[in-house]
Amino acid sequence: MTTNKQSLSAFHHRSITDRAEFWAEQATLIDWHKPFTQVLDDSRLPFARWFLGGETNLCHNAVDRHLPTLADKPALIFVSTETGAERTYTFAELHSEVMRMAAVMQALGVERGDRVLIYMPMIAEAAFAMLACARIGAIHSVVFGGFASHSLASRIDDAAPRLIVSADAGSRGGKVIPYKGLLDEAISLATSKPDAVLMVDRGLAPYALVAGRDHDYAPLRDQHLNAIVPVTWLESNEISYTLYTSGTTGKPKGVQRDVGGYAVALAASMKHIFCGNQGETYFSTSDIGWVVGHSYIVYGPLIAGMATIMYEGTPVRPDAGILWQLVERYKVTVMFSAPTAIRVLKKQDPAWLTRYDTSSLRALFLAGEPLDEPTARWISESLGRPIIDNYWQTETGWPILTVAHGIEKTPTRFGSPGMPMYGYDVRLLHEQTGEEVGPNEKGVVAVLPPLPPGCMQTVWGDDERFVKTYFSSIPGKLAYSTFDWGVRDDDGYYFILGRTDDVINVAGHRLGTREIEESLSSHAAVAECAVVGVADTLKGQVAVGFAVVKDPSLIEEIDDRLKLEGELMATVDRQLGAVARPSRVYFVSTLPKTRSGKVLRRSIQAVCEGRDPGDLTTIEDPSTLEQVRQALAGR
């Protein structure tokens, strides 16, 4: 895999000191219709433009480019354990399907630069729609299928799409979730109205078409079965998509991405970080509604000539072996998931992990939230495969911190996502002085501009907000703030300590809730936990913990609960000091989380403080917050 011997630090150094040469080299990993004339324009920082004058296309690089060599090889593998559907599309078939979808979009009036909002479950047509937009130069904006009408309406208003592509329903845990009612409501709530709505009918939930606006996909597809839709060549800095960031309140923030920089960044990451090879299979358990779905379900693996699995289902249905069964069946070499999924599996019989042949798997990549050491250790030992944590954000599109085994086999370290990736000039900065902090000192994880290719260009329609939100919080420095705390050890490994906005201050001591969570989860009884800062008249704030135990019989009686709570506090005392000890640790059976698996700490905090928990449109299960209330009330 490693072609030329070099160290990651030398590779990284070159990417920062000689950006133009470095990225020009990476740019050879994709096809260009017209070569670029300038690698980087950083004359207007923090705005950066990459590969100026170059013309390319994401769909061409993901699909057409592979036709001469991979036409009959798998490209998209759609598996739904919800409906039992399973179908493999070869690159040639994917090419045809994308052209059909593109032709239908064009027939509905979609042109280059128009927005197309995609509100769909994890079905193959969702990927066709994304690729079709990319093909014709339309800007897609995928909205996670779990969002309800209000969130959808605000995104419709922000993106002002000409077309919305949707489906009759999604399904989760065996429960059908009809989409059309939510969509109709969202459109009626929104000020901006789409010209057309395109519906993929899966036969799961009946719906009505609005005359003159709504169209069923199947008959239109039939009319365009033999469509030939040529690729629209786009200047590298044209917009490929916008994606609204999760967890934001108020006006949604559309992360806007380019074409050429994104394609190059993904191609480079597939080579250097994920080490995926043409002809192999990639499996990401994420959803197309999230950035991982964009970068590492659809575009990244396909650009690398890999087959990609699109999975509709949960990790435990029909049983807790399903993910590994798919690894065995499709000989997956690279897998991508989230720590939450692993913590869910941790509560199941570990025998599921060894039941299937997972020897094809070279590594399991985990991202999206902190990977606590006990979970990392557990999955690493149970699976017997390398576990690679990687830290990034919707805004960056690809990893900021991880290891790049395509460059150097740097050992991983439990609890650390790794080190700065090439292209990212990562600094740990003091939040008040803006100065760099030393090893083992906590600072804000920041990136000095220019951000590398693939990162957000701006906030859609709001350059000022881009600068204000991301580049104005570090005193005296133009630096991109990740809003995460981090620390670097003496060997250069970074550790993420939690959001700067989740920081708690107990009696003048600043603490990362993440550190306390790590400590609580190191107790053998704990499956997962969340810690929030709760207002306290004496100490300013105190830490309050909520824990899910692996074996509920351990906490059946009140005495058992008190005993375990005492043990957990003693663990924190022992590991971090009494200052970090939570004032209480409550037990719940599930933590309140978003559909993407992020713990809703702010909402928990609000409930603890008797406040309104805020926007709950992303919550996976509203009853989990009720559990928090009941735990607080001592029931």
Closest residue (Cβ) to ligand AMP?
394
- Catalogue the long-range contacts made by 618-623 (C-beta closer than 8 Å, 24 or more residues apart): 618/144, 618/146, 618/147, 618/151, 618/246, 618/247, 618/594, 619/592, 619/593, 619/594, 619/595, 620/146, 620/592, 620/593, 620/594, 620/595, 621/590, 621/592, 621/593
Closest contact distance (angstroms) between CB of 356 and ligand AMP is: 26
Q: Which residues of 439-476 are buried (b: 16+ CB within 10 A; e: fewer)?
A: eeebbbbbbbbbbbbbbbbbbbebeeebbebbbebbee
* CB of 338 or CB of 580, closer to ligand AMP: 338
Rule CB under 6 A: is residue 406 a binding residue for ligand AMP?
Answer: no
121 is an interface residue for ligand AMP by CB under 6 A: no
Q: Which of 451, 513, 455 is nearest to 484 (CA)?
A: 513
Do 300 and 273 form a contact (C-beta atoms < 8 A)? no
**Which residues between 223 and 252 bind ligand AMP (CB under 6 A)?**
245-246
Of the two residues 403 and 542, which places its CB atom closer to ligand AMP in the complex? 403
Is 295 near ligand AMP (CB under 6 A)? no
Regarding 368 and contact with ligand AMP (CB under 6 A), the answer is: yes
369 binds ligand AMP (CB under 6 A): yes
Residue 482 CB, nearest distance to ligand AMP (Å)?
5
Please confirm whether the linkage preceding 450 is cis (ω < 30° from 0). Answer: yes
- Kindly tell me which residue out of 137, 254, 370, 450 binds ligand AMP, with binding defined by CB under 6 A: 370
Question: What pairs with residue 38 in β-bridges?
Answer: 52
**Does the protein bind ligand AMP through residue 393 (CB under 6 A)?**
yes
Residue 322 binds to ligand AMP (criterion: CB under 6 A): no
Instruction: Choose the binding region for ligand AMP from 56-64, 146-154, 367-375, 518-526 (rule: CB under 6 A).
Output: 367-375
530 binds ligand AMP (CB under 6 A): no
Tell which one of 482, 541, 603, 627 touches ligand AMP (CB under 6 A): 482
Backbone φ, ψ for residue 30 (5° rounding): -120, 170
d(CA 221, CA 524): 55
- Cβ of residue 424: shortest distance to ligand AMP, in angstroms? 14
Per CB under 6 A, the segment of 112-120, 375-383, 390-398, 626-634 that binds ligand AMP is 390-398
Whichever of 262 and 392 has its CB closer to ligand AMP, that residue is 392
Rounded to a whole number of angstroms, the minimum distance from the CB of residue 369 to ligand AMP is 5
**Torsion sign, CA atoms 514, 523, 573, 611:** positive
Closest CB to ligand AMP among residues 237, 394: 394
Q: Which helix (H) or strand (E) holds 309?
A: strand 307-312
Query: Binding to ligand AMP (CB under 6 A): which residues in 495-524?
Result: 496, 499
Stretch that binds ligand AMP, among 81-89, 306-314, 364-372, 427-435 (CB under 6 A): 364-372
The helix/strand/coil state of 97 is helix
C-alpha distance across the termini of the chain, in Å: 56
CB atoms under 10 Å from CB of 301, counted, come to: 28
Q: What is the CA radius of gyration of the chain?
A: 24
* 484 scored as a contact of ligand AMP (CB under 6 A): yes
Please, what is the minimum distance in Å from the beta carbon of residue 385 to ligand AMP?
18
In the complex with ligand AMP, which residue's Cβ is closer, 470 or 586?
A: 470
Q: CB 461 → ligand AMP: shortest distance, Å?
A: 19
**What does DSSP say about strands 540-549 and 584-587: parallel, antiparallel, or unpaired?**
parallel
User: Which of 135/602 has CB closer to ligand AMP?
Assistant: 602
- Block residue for tokens 């881009």: 466
Q: Which residues contact 177 (CB under 8 A, 6 or more apart)?
A: 121, 145, 146, 169, 170, 171
- Min separation Cβ 308 and ligand AMP, Å: 19
Q: Which of 55, 114, 389, 517 binds ligand AMP (CB under 6 A)?
A: 389
The per-residue DSSP string of 563-604 comes to HHHHHHHHHHHHHT-GGG--SEEEE-SS--BBTTS-B-HHHH
CA distances from 459 to 146, 240, 462, 500 (A): 23, 13, 5, 21
Do the Cβ atoms of 475 and 445 come closer than 8 Å? Answer: no
Amino acid (one-letter) located at 287 = D
Are residues 45 and 449 in contact, defined by beta-carbon separation less than 8 angstroms? yes
Work out whether 374 is an interface residue with ligand AMP (CB under 6 A): no
> Number of residues in contact with ligand AMP, rule: CB under 6 A?
19
| Binding range to ligand AMP, per CB under 6 A, among 100-108, 386-394, 571-579, 611-619 | 386-394
Q: Between 237 and 246, whose beta carbon lies closer to ligand AMP?
A: 246
From 88-96, 343-351, 365-373, 545-553, give the range in contact with ligand AMP by CB under 6 A: 365-373
Closest CA to 455 of 421, 478, 486, 406: 421
Q: Does 289 bind ligand AMP (CB under 6 A)?
A: no
Cβ distance to ligand AMP smaller for residue 36 or 274:
274
Quote the CA–CA distance of 130 and 135 in Å, as a whole number. 9
Nearest to 527, CA basis, from 548, 545, 512: 548
Tell me if 260 contacts ligand AMP by CB under 6 A. Answer: no
Using the minimum distance from each CB to ligand AMP, give the nearer residue, 125 or 484.
484
Q: How far is the CB of 297 from ligand AMP (least distance, A)?
A: 14
Q: Could you list the residues that contact ligand AMP (CB under 6 A)?
A: 245-246, 291, 367-371, 389-394, 417, 482, 484, 496, 499
